[in-house]
C-alpha cells in the first residue's frame, strides 16, 4: 500500500493552497461525502480534513452528485499501488458529466 495519498487543489483564491497535498495513509480512519461539494477525511490523530469540490478548475462551482462516488475514489486510491510511495486520487465526473476538481482543503 502507498504511504501517502495525494490531492491536487486548483482554482483556490489563496495561491498557497493550490497544488499537491499529501496525507499519510496510515493515519486515515475513513472518509465520508457529507454533501455534494464536501468530503471529510477522518484521521487517527483527531484531525479532520475537509475537501471542497468544484466542477470549475478556476473557481468554486458545486458539482451535482447524488451519491458518494468521490469518497469511493478516495477509498480506491487508499487501496491501490501496493508498495508505492504515494497514490493519486482520480476524481470522477458529476451526475451531469462535468469533471470534478478539489477547490479547497481545510485541516482542523
pLDDT greater than 70 at residue 51: yes
> What value does the mean pLDDT take over residues 81-97?
84
pLDDT of residue 84: 67
Show the domain range for 91: 4-107
Number of domains in the chain: 1
pTM beyond 0.75: the answer is yes
Q: What is the largest CA-CA distance in the chain?
A: 37
- The predicted structure's pLDDT at residue 50: 96
Helix (H, G, I), strand (E, B) or coil at 87: strand
Place of cell 481545510: 106
Convert the pLDDT of each residue in 27-37 to its tens digit: 999 999 999 99
CA distance linking residue 57 with residue 82, whole number of Å:
30
Amino acid at each position: 500500500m502507498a504511504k501517502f495519498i495525494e490531492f491536487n487543489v486548483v482554482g483556490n483564491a489563496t495561491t498557497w493552497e493550490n497544488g499537491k497535498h499529501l496525507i499519510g495513509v496510515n493515519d486515515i480512519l475513513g472518509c465520508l461525502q457529507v454533501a455534494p461539494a464536501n468530503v471529510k477525511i477522518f484521521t487517527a490523530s483527531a484531525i479532520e480534513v475537509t475537501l471542497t469540490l468544484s466542477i470549475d478548475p478556476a473557481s468554486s462551482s458545486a458539482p451535482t452528485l447524488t451519491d458518494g462516488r468521490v469518497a469511493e475514489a478516495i477509498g480506491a486510491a487508499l487501496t491501490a499501488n501496493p508498495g508505492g510511495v504515494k497514490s493519486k486520487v482520480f476524481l470522477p465526473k458529476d451526475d451531469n458529466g462535468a469533471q470534478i476538481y478539489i477547490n479547497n482543503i481545510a485541516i482542523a
